[in-house]
Amino acid sequence: MMKFQSAALAVACALALAACGNDTPPPAEPAATPQATEAADAGAPPAMEQEATPAATPAPSDTAAQGSDPAVVADCATTIDSNDAMRYDADSITIPASCDQFTIRLTHSGQMPVAAMGHNVVVTSQADMQGVIAEGMGAGLDNDYVKPDDPRVVAHTDMIGGGEDTSVTFDVSRLRSGGPFVFFCSFPGHAALMKGSIAVE
């Protein structure tokens, strides 16, 4: 008797649900991802799926940045521009081995006066650079921040302000030994950003 009542109750529930229109099948279980299947096979709980995020683009290294803007050299001469942002537009100069003399022309495309944002080009060996800068500060603006008759200086231009230009021509033989050599601005504090390599090849 009890079995019959239980069966009748189950049929009644099924008819009531059908009458309410709830004939939607239960949602299917989501298929397991390959990662979840592998985790289950290994006996580990499946990891939660996450949205893929694009890989971060690596920042350019300092090494990649250096030597990326070589000066244009033609007829044993080059022109380098400087600006109010304390920058040269070149960070390397390659002098052809066939040149006996070489000319560096410096322009200043900024607007600030020489006393506030003056620039020059000084050529020394890399080993002499810091000493030349330190003693050049004592020499002052009247001497283009270069100690007069400093034997460590291969060549240097005048100090110029916005809208001006200058140049220097020097004997290339001074760069054929004792290097590596560099060029830089000797205005106090500028060589931290305004410097580059210079070589004969």
CATH number for the domain harbouring residue 189: 2.60.40.420
Range of the domain at 93: 68-200
Alpha carbons within 13 angstroms on the beta-carbon side of residue 191 total 23
Q: What's the pTM? A: 0.67
pLDDT by residue for the chain (201 residues), tens digit each?
444 444 444 444 444 444 444 444 444 554 444 444 444 444 444 444 444 333 333 333 333 334 479 999 999 999 999 999 999 999 999 999 999 999 999 999 999 999 999 999 999 999 999 999 999 999 999 999 999 999 999 999 999 999 999 999 999 999 999 899 999 999 999 999 999 999 999
The torsion angle over the Cα atoms of residues 99, 102, 107 and 112, rounded to 10 degrees, is: 140
- The reply to whether 1 falls in a domain is no
Rounded CA-CA distance 4/174 in Å is 114
Rounded CA-CA distance 167/80 in Å is 10
- The reply to whether 56 falls in a domain is no
Backbone angles phi, psi at 165, to 5 degrees: -150, 160
* Model pLDDT, residue 68: 75
- The reply to whether 146 falls in a domain is yes
* Model pLDDT, residue 32: 46
- The reply to whether 22 falls in a domain is no
- The reply to whether 149 falls in a domain is yes
- The reply to whether 137 falls in a domain is yes
* Model pLDDT, residue 157: 98
- The reply to whether 30 falls in a domain is no
- The reply to whether 4 falls in a domain is no
Count of the separate structural domains present in the chain: 1
Q: For residue 178, give the DSSP letter.
A: S
